[in-house]
Amino acid sequence: MREEELLAMMTARSRDLPARFGQVLTGPGDDCAVVQIGEQRLLLTVDQVIEGRHFRRNTSLDLVARKAAARSISDIAAMAGSPVCMVATAALKPGMDQAEADALYMALKEWAEHWECPLVGGDTATLASANDPLMLTVTAIGRVHPVRGAVLRSGAREGDGIYVTGSLGGSFEQETGLGRHLTFEPRLKEAAWLASTLGDGLHAMMDLSDGLGRDADRMARASGVRMEMDASAIPKNPGVRDWKRAAGDGEDYELLFAAAGNVPARTESGVAIAKIGVVVRGEGCVIAEDGKLMDAGGLGWEHR
């Protein structure tokens, strides 16, 4: 089964959760779940990193821990939230000694606190074989934006502009296994600033983990609209010349958002914002180059 099919199946089977359970405001299908606990609306998200899939075998434990924490923190940023705390599980290799296990724990603890999302609990287990991949799973809890509330990926409207922060492509660097995918900074400040500045004009947002093409297609389908993007407007990282790489490499963790009205060219923190397209009536997502349209949904990373 392809990842998209699996995600679609889980989302479809969970659509009745808000009707059946009053505390569930948003279930599967977005960057975070939104739940009501007393007077608080909280964001819940979980993500994992697996050796050989999300990082190379020779990657330092510090960078492994950093990426594990940052991926979940980025999901909270995607909905303009602020982190509260996290819990984590680790599946450790049988040959890992006490010093290595302690180094992994301390790295995760320190990176969690770097983003003001303290590590408050978790669990460990030992893998059956030394050949099995090291795995870390992080569950993060956040608060919704105090004024705008949670920004879902399903709110894009006809007439909105389509925007992206920063620049895209080349984040993994296959030759070395090192790159921005290990050192990116989740856009917490930028997302909160966008929500405060644009208010209700910020209609939809998500982070770019699987590539601009695939993720924009997900936003378009969730919103029931068509998104048309301009290939020449897609901002590329240094060394990335082909817009298809910028749209398809994945693991950028920049913000993709749809908004109405005037959107500044930079965030308060100085991160560039590029307008890359418009939302129109229809469905799906395309990228235009020299008058030709390409289906964007096939540009990106997919776990199989």
Q: What is the CATH number of the domain that holds 101?
A: 3.30.1330.10
What integer pLDDT is reported at residue 86 of this predicted model?
A: 98
Is 186:70 a contact under the CB 8 Å cutoff? yes
State the total domains in the chain: 2
Range list of H helices, 143-301: 180-183, 188-198, 212-223, 243-248
| Domain match, 50 and 121 both | yes
Strand partners, 165: 273
DSSP calls for 150-188: ---TT---TT-EEEEES-BS-SS-TTTS-SHHHH----H
Residue 153 maps to a domain: no
Q: Give the pLDDT confidence of 54-63 residue by residue, as tens digits.
A: 999 889 999 9
Structural domain ending residue among the three candidates 110, 143, 176: 143
Strands (E), the chain: 24-26, 33-37, 40-50, 82-92, 119-126, 135-143, 161-165, 202-207, 226-230, 255-259, 273-280, 284-289, 292-295
pLDDT on residue 8: 82
Confidence (pLDDT) at 257: 98
User: CA separation (Å) from 137 to 193, 197, 258?
Assistant: 28, 33, 30
Q: Which two three-digit tokens encode residue 230?
A: 């301009």
Give the pLDDT of residue 214. Answer: 95
Q: What are phi and psi of 5, to 5 degrees?
A: -65, -40
Burial of residue 16 (CB within 10 Å: 0-12, 13-18, 19+) is exposed
pLDDT value at residue 12: 87
State the pTM of this model. Answer: 0.95
Residue that terminates a domain, selected from 117, 143, 169: 143
| pLDDT at residue 6, as a whole number | 82
Q: What is the CATH number of the domain that holds 270?
A: 3.90.650.10
For residue 18, being part of any structural domain is answered with no
Q: Using CA atoms, how far apart are residues 197 and 158, in angstroms rounded to an integer?
A: 21
Which range of residues forms the domain containing residue 224? Answer: 161-298
pLDDT tens for the chain, 304 residues long, are 677 788 788 888 898 999 999 999 999 999 999 999 999 999 999 999 999 999 998 899 999 999 999 999 999 999 999 999 999 999 999 989 999 999 999 999 999 999 999 999 999 999 999 889 999 999 999 999 999 999 999 999 999 999 999 999 999 875 555 589 999 999 999 999 999 999 999 999 999 999 999 999 999 999 999 999 999 999 999 989 999 999 999 999 999 999 999 999 999 999 999 999 999 999 999 999 999 999 999 899 775 5
Place of tokens 């303290």: 118
What pLDDT sits at residue 174?
55
pLDDT at 179: 85
Contact assessment for residue 79 and residue 205, using Cβ atoms and an 8 Å cutoff: yes
Let me know if residue 151 belongs to a domain. no
Question: Is residue 233 packed enough to be buried (19+ CB in 10 Å), middle (13-18) or exposed (0-12)?
Answer: middle
